[in-house]
Amino acid sequence: MKIVFVVFFFSLLQSCVSNDTIMRRQSLRDGEVILSEGERFAFGFFSLGVSKLRYVGIWYAQISEQTVVWVANRDRPVNGTSGLIKFTSRGNLCVYASLNATEPPLWSTNVSDSILEQTLVARLSNIGNLVLLDSVTGRGYWESFDHPTDTFLPFMKLGFTRKDGLDRFLTSWRSPSDPGSGNRTLRMDRRGLPELILHKGQILWWRAGTWTGLRWSGMPDMNRGYIFSNSFVNNQDEVSFTYGVTDASVITRMKVNERGTLQRFTWIAKDQRWNEFWSVPKEECDYYAHCGVNGFCDPTSSETFECTCLPGFEPKITRHWFLRDYTGGCSRKNETSLCREKDRFVKLTHAKIPDTSNASVVMNLTLKECKQRCLVNCSWCLTWHGDMLDTRTYLNSGQDFYIRVDKEELALWETNGSSRKTRVVLVLIILIVAVMVLMVIVFCFVRKRRKSNMLRRSSTTFSMVSFDFEDSLKFEDDKSGNRELPLFDLNTIAAATDNFSSHNKLGAGGFGPVYKGVLQIGMEIAVKRLSKNSGQGMEEFKNEVKLISKLQHRNLVRILGCCVESEEKMLIYEYLPNKSLDCFIFDEEQRAALDWPKRMKIIRGIARGTMYLHQDSRLRIIHRDLKASNILLDNEMIPKISDFGMARIFGGNQIEGCTNRVVGTIGYMSPEYAMEGHFSVKSDVYSFGVLMLEIISGKKNSSFHKESSNLVGHIWDLWEKGEATEIIDNLMDQETYDVSEVVKCIHIGLLCVQENASDRVEMSSVLIMLGQNAIDLPNPKLPAFTSVRRRGRENVALLIAEPGSSVNDITFTDVQGR
């Protein structure tokens, strides 16, 4: 096992295992750590402050401030540096207090069934999840995300599964220097409508309110925006909440601290500090049942007290309320009698509805139907059977809440409410006037900078996007219907790109130019503007939008939104500063900076992204246009597959298809696809093999080499002569690579480009081959489109007559699928 040395945030010298995995027969001693593939997270032993107690956990590896996000043995630390992490014979990962591991473990993954597979590993992902899985089949047995401590990371779930009862909840530390289990917990409540509840011991401390479709009603600061996304699932299998980030460079986390506050932080790199984005509870009205039963809290009230009784109720003990003691709450007025013929409803706007633990729900009713049923039967739509707790109002968030009262109470409430409304109206008028003045100033400034063509377009507004198209952008299988792709208006994109200025142009693809832009919030974006004469029509555009919005993988480019106005169709992506792979491997100056470890990192990343498309995403996806210009590189040279306009989505069991419209790029298309319109996951494998050989050699496949028709044919000729090393890029420093490892990669590349699709390896096998040093590989067979094959196929020679060009619409009149 190769060992290197790095200095971590706690200022101790620790050795670091050079990959992200602990193999079954390996162990991890105190002082050794593993890093996730992108080196964002580390796993191993750590201490807090000057304490000699040692814990096993996960922390951010690349930031200066010690930030632990998960602790295994939080209640049973190791005293000293003699700890050991290793697998047991049953397949559990355990923490021991000594190197001989004879005592019972201090902590274990506690997988109930014995895991006999020798290919079992523990792998740390770049989202901070430690997973026990079979490295061959990919089957998972245990993961740290299912057993969180005090921190809620992006893409982690909070909630429970109904079948096995697995409950994912947060528990605070005892103190900032003691990660032991504290008495503050945040978990999904199973009573009434599901919602997140924060407890202080057994006491309800704060609740998130019901899910509104965009956020929890008690968390108005939880906005979706362009960076953060929220998702709530409530079905027959599970009840869970998760959040994500659309910009992979954003480092963020949520945690429950020992004081009982839920906080969201983002890392400010330039200041090297955590910034608190928001927190709850933060005001009196946030705390559970602050105004007692049947009371509601209004922090914006200009009255003496923030607490008021709900319509139809009055303080139980009035003098206590004057002393600001609201614990007694409110009771129904004696003279109020419900179920009269002329009963009506008082509407509370911007409300956090009461605790639903003792409420029943009648779904699928309109507001009118609900009112009618409630007037007929007092017990029907008035679903709170008893006292109502923890109700409050917000300035510009919350929900409408209707309370049934008699006509006398309604008149009284409307009279009291009118004075409050007058004050609110005055405030709103002042705000509206101020906003309008500001808008006029901004409009005049922008108008001076607009060119004449943008003046003609300015009348086009966001509302021009049809509902049919907007609906098509939603997740088709997301029953909750609350996950959509943000839509940008044309003026916003034009301003971000300086009216599509030529100096912001990053390049041009087969379907149009790509521009760099900067939004008003300072976020950098890449805008793919489809040309009007592009071969990509509305169907391909919709396909790319719907497809990428469903995908989440660190080796796939992330889409932020789209714009459809007038004749414009644009896709907005995350901006990647290093542009595309072809800018590096086909440019001598840039290529010289790519040593072998960087090239290998790029190869592995592309392989992982492709395998995700083929077998790990919810639907099987065939990209159909893998090539160097469609591989983008971020600031850490992590590759991200892009351009999904030509991709095809298959069901989970479907692996191949046939088309009479061939799309793709000449030089990367497999023979069965180029000649017969037959495509499958093996078509992508062929493209990956070509791309892999290009990365190793630094040459384009479309270039002609002596007697060979292309690079692949040239490499095959050298391979048969035993001279494959001649193809290795001579600009690559020989001290950075092991020749045998590079030759192995050439071997794998040739296994990917064999003529018959059935002979080619799958992407999962490619990753295994890349990850194992000593492995016997099968002998490759003759690749497609070599000089030998070309002599007998004049039509193939015609197809590659203009190498490197994109094929957007080649139609076969007689195509037979195999």
| Residue among 631, 609, 689 at smallest CA distance from 37 | 609
DSSP helix/strand/coil, 704: coil
Q: Which helix (H) or strand (E) holds 330?
A: strand 330-332
Q: What angle do CA 612, 253, 255 make, to 5 degrees?
A: 130
| β-strand partners of 346 | 403
What's the CA gap between 460 and 752, in Å, rounded? 49
- Long-range (24+ apart) CB contacts under 8 A made by 585-592 are 585/628, 585/694, 585/695, 585/698, 586/628, 586/698, 586/699, 586/700, 588/731, 591/698, 591/729, 591/731, 592/731
**Cα–chain-centroid distance for residue 378?**
45
Specify the DSSP class assigned to residue 616.
I
Name 697's Cβ contacts closer than 8 Å, sequence gap at least 6: 711, 715, 727, 728, 729
Residue 268 half-sphere exposure toward CB, CA atoms < 13 A: 7
> In the block, which residue shows the tokens 């089949």?
137
To the query of whether residue 625 is one of the catalytic residues in this protein, the response is yes
| β-strand partners of 516 | 526
What's the CA gap between 431 and 680, in Å, rounded? 59
Both structure tokens of 91: 């397949």
DSSP helix/strand/coil, 276: strand
What's the CA gap between 94 and 221, in Å, rounded? 40
Please tell me the chain's helix, strand, coil percentages from 3-state DSSP, rounded to the nearest 5: 25, 30, 45
Burial of 332 (0-12, 13-18, 19+ CB in 10 A): middle
State how beta strands 41-46 and 53-60 pair: antiparallel
Strands in 130-134's sheet, in edge-to-edge order, are: 21-23, 120-124, 130-134, 140-143
Report yes or no: 546 and 603 within 8 Å, Cβ to Cβ.
Answer: no
Name 692's Cβ contacts closer than 8 Å, sequence gap at least 6: 603, 606, 745, 748, 749, 752
Q: In Å, how far are 24, 70, 74, 491 from 106, measured between CA atoms?
A: 19, 16, 10, 59
Assign 3-class secondary structure to 203-261.
EEEEECCCECCCCECCCCCCCCCCCEEEEEEECCCEEEEEEEECCCCCCEEEEECCCCC
Alpha-carbon dihedral angle through residues 266, 270, 272, 278, given to the nearest 10 degrees: -20
Please tell me which residue in 189, 355, 387, 625 is annotated as part of the active site.
625
What's the CA gap between 193 and 457, in Å, rounded? 46
User: Directed axis angle between helix 681-697 and helix 739-752, to 10°?
Assistant: 150
Name 751's Cβ contacts closer than 8 Å, sequence gap at least 6: 689, 759, 760, 761, 777, 778, 780
> In the block, which residue shows the tokens 């990956």?
688
Catalytic residues: 625
